[in-house]
Structure 1
Amino acid sequence: MPQQTLFHCVFILLTCCLAVIFAQQENTPDAMAQLADLLGLSQASARLKRQPSLSNSAAKFLLEVYKEISEEDEKNLPEVLQKQHKTRHRRAISEGNFITPFDRREIELSNNIITFASRPVSFNSISAPLGDMLVNFNLNDIPNDLELTHAAMRLYQDPQLGHYNTHAEYNYTITVYKPVGEYMHRVASINATTAFRGWLELNVTHVLNQWLRFRTLKQILYGNDLLVGVTLHTPHRKVGTYSKLQQVAATDVGLVSPQMQAELLDLQPFIIGYFNGPDLMTKMQQRSSQQNKRRVRHADSFRQPPAPHLPHTININKEIVFEPPKACERRNFTLDFKYLGMEKSVIAPKTFEAFYCFGECNFPLGTPMHNATNHAIVQTLMHLKRPNLPKPCCVPVKLASISILYSVNEDSVNLMRFSHIVAKECGCR
């Protein structure tokens, strides 16, 4: 019960915060920026002039995850997701290991999933050894309050693209290195065969965590590099059972590189990062603490008009009509990301119904409110005898979660999950 009460308090605080912002006639850009920040939408995504391409493998992965965990009907999905559904035969999605059972377990345990698309190597990047694949990632604009729990680098192999598709099947080893000055630091490795077709995964949690925690100016400007090397195991004719190790180009075994043609964009390398971030209550407490410190320094600059009463319907395009309190009920409250200036960065949903609970909990509670608790009924009766005892409050008694998919920047996509944010039912507690 204490945990459930805490969720109710979080929802009420968030609803009141959003309602006050929308109810004001003159909304300042600072207020909208604060709301976007509270929801975890980065400032870099707000500066996007157009929605980045969603045809690369990194974006397609999160589009598929969003459709799996979203409670929306297929016909209510955004247009970009409906188009994605119609092209399920595309190679990246049709592979059975595109979303693995391990991915689904991590999805359940994470509230932020970020994918990083590989980029063509810039002029300022290091030179890769002959045959090795140089992969570059942009890790800018990732929120500092996210904690990485797991990260995986995905590489796609198609034997038809390599030089060993008609030969005998060979074993080989993929090794990923991180360039450190003139040296190469081994990050991860995996064994595969030249006949394999599908996605290969390497654990890059440690190196991604290092990149996020210790940023350098070079990484901010030019990105983060990884080298992919391939060692082929061929039978030694004289020795027989032993294998001969041979360094070959990554593309020789059919690995798709970032420099491949545009039609292979959905098969190019990418990184999946599973994160956990603070809940809305923690964020609100942190923001409130920061604002209180600023108010102490500049008390006169933070005087705000008193907040109006909650309206019956919050609509930013029409006049706000105030009505006298009625019995506790659920009322409409729609959050439109276009109003926050995030229509180009938010992929889905474009709007969502959060709802809010409003009304009086008067005696008798039984007729309109079928879900009032016995405690609320007793408290209402006691309030009639002792007016100093407060009446029960109209609060959400059943809450639902939502997921927000948005572009962090041109190269990264984030899928955020918010629990207990949509009021499904209201009652007196």
Structure 2
Amino acid sequence: MTQVPTGETVTAAEFRLFKTRSFSRHFNRTLHISVYEIHRDHSNRQPELTLLDHESIQAGDEGWLVFDVTAASNHWLLNAKYNAGLRLYVENDEGQSIDPSLAGILGRRAPRSKQPFMVTFFQANRNQIRSTRAVKQLKKRQQKKHSDLPHPNKLPGVFDHVHVPDGRQVCKRHELYVSFRDLGWLDWVIAPQGYSAFYCEGECSFPLDSCMNATNHAILQSLVHLMKPESVPKACCAPTKLSATSVLYYDNNNNVILKKHRNMVVKSCGCH
């Protein structure tokens, strides 16, 4: 919250947690999850809490849980010294407290793509709405790339780093050799016996780095996905440039044909 620029106001703040499926027999199928703002923490008695948001889910559910913590963020902005954090409680139908880890809720030891984070929405004087992951420090911004839209790393309040979940690589080109022999095509293909076609694979996770060769549409889709992950999918890794390759083959009349076929080789990949 220390990154909020002067002259801007917070319109909303969300705390997001990822929950995996849980089938423990120690509690009922329905879980009640509550998020509180800690006003004051005491060593000898219970802390002073204010309920911010509550959600009831099934133990077998999986996905992101979104809690409205706007009230807490507004208090923290007015006076940062009152920021004592948030408190999370998980209970069953009988009101018994459940260990969040047993309920499938992931914490900061989870893979990076599923760690808890906070999304804050700002209203600027220019009526621009933007979002930021407030739990991380802003990194040094790189030079602006040529694009009709600002690169996502250049949008105010967005981080300049490549986020790759679960150790996966970012979107890029990979080796792929297509063998016409393996396809059973050598009875009509004379040459070549195969060629390097390549393929695209990798993550298009927010924020989209310049090396991901993202389209303007992919940039905006990624921003919307960050705010509404259950409604809008992430951008996809796909070829951005293809080239032709020549094939010598027999046609249906047994004529020998040399033809250059378009869009046979992946030259570059990007997020779409």
Does TM-score exceed 0.5, indicating one fold? Answer: no
**Richer in helix (by share):** 1
Q: Please tell me the TM-score bracket, short chain as reference.
A: 0.3 to 0.5
Higher-RCO chain (CA-CA 8 Å, sequence separation at least 6):
1
